[in-house]
Amino acid sequence: MEDNIESASIRHGTDIPDAMREVVVGAAGGIAQVLIGQPFDIVKVRMQTQANESALRVARKIWAQEGTLAFYKGSLSPLLGVGACISIVFSSFHGFKQALASLQPQNPHNTLSLPQTYLAGGMAGLTNSVISGPMEHIRIRLQIQSSSPTQRMYKGVRDCVRGILQQAGPAGLYRGQSATMLREFHSYGIWFSVYEVLLSHVMETGGKRRDEIASWKIAGCGALTGEVLWAANYPFDVVKSKMQADGFGTEQRYCNMRDVIRQTWRTHGLHGFFRGLGPTLLRALPVSAGTFLVVEEVRQRL
């Protein structure tokens, strides 16, 4: 396979600028991501931050003690925010690709190498981390609290934001941001580069244009991409979640990211950095497949 990856832009003869098109397709992909992945995500967060139990046991406990709707606990924040985040990711990725391609005037097809695609994706992830950091912090705090009205700390998103600001000020919203930035850069670098490599392979072997590829092949490329992403990036997510779920003041367990790593290793060993990976990989299959399928379908229609 060639090292160069074709640009994702598809010309439709419409007046919609490419950057605006990527904003719209990203929003659509983000909404699909939340609707498909939220139940898996709450199980993952509970496993990362609470008792050492299997994914099935955690899911059963949520079902029995909190009801079906508990699997969508804290979903308002990601539903409102993930669409915006994925819009930022796709539009930023488009912008960074164009910037890198402009450095190669001798390349008339605007193709990027695999490292360049990884870099463009990583920079898009860093751009997104400004929004995704506090958004995920709020979501995690809502997900780990009890559903019982008498035991839960926060009534909802607004109350959670107010509580964090009272406890730690504006900087408190960005708790775990260093781990978030590392995760976002590596995640989206892998996400875009692996997907584009797989899709380029499908186009080359089938002799088809991007907009001629069957939907099931797009979904398959997306699903495999999601598995690679999380298998390679999961420890960053564990560290981030532990930092964001930590208490405030005298209840705070971790001083910084290094302290999280040290305590996790001392208590659980290497396994501690991969707790919850099972439901995460299970979640990644439909979520990443659905996200890229929606993105490609919407992009073709704009």
pLDDT 10s digits, 32-75: 888 888 888 778 777 777 667 787 888 888 888 888 777 777 66
Give yes or no for a contact between 294 and 28, defined as CB atoms under 8 angstroms apart.
yes
Q: Minimum mean pLDDT among 40-44, 62-66, 194-198, 202-206: which range?
A: 40-44
pLDDT one-digit tens code per residue, 245-269: 998 888 889 999 999 999 999 999 9
- Using DSSP, state whether 4 is helix, strand or coil: strand
Cα Rg, the chain, nearest whole Å: 20
Say which CATH number the domain at 10 has. Answer: 1.50.40.10
DSSP letter (8 states) at residue 220: H
Which phi and psi angles does 252 have, rounded to 5°? -75, 130
Tell me the C-alpha distance between 177 and 107, whole Å. Answer: 37
Tell me the C-alpha distance between 263 and 272, whole Å. Answer: 10
Beta-carbon neighbour count of residue 20 at 10 Å? 13
Share in percent of the chain as helix, strand, coil (round to 5):
75, 0, 20
Give yes or no for a contact between 221 and 199, defined as CB atoms under 8 angstroms apart.
yes
Give yes or no for a contact between 293 and 222, defined as CB atoms under 8 angstroms apart.
yes
DSSP letter (8 states) at residue 273: G
* Residue 5 host element (H or E): strand 4-5
In this predicted structure, what is the pLDDT of residue 9?
A: 45
Q: Exposure string (b/e) for 177-205, b if CB count within 10 Å is 16 or more?
A: bbbbbbbbbbbbbbbbbbbbbbbbebbee
In this predicted structure, what is the pLDDT of residue 286?
A: 93
Give yes or no for a contact between 289 and 219, defined as CB atoms under 8 angstroms apart.
yes
Q: What is the mean pLDDT of the chain?
A: 87
Which residues partner with 112 through β-bridges?
A: 5
Nearest residue to 45 (alpha-carbon basis) of 85, 86, 75: 75
For the whole model, what pTM was predicted? 0.82
Q: Which domain range does residue 181 map to?
A: 4-301
Count of H-run helices and E-run strands, the chain: 9, 2
Q: How many domains does the chain have?
A: 1
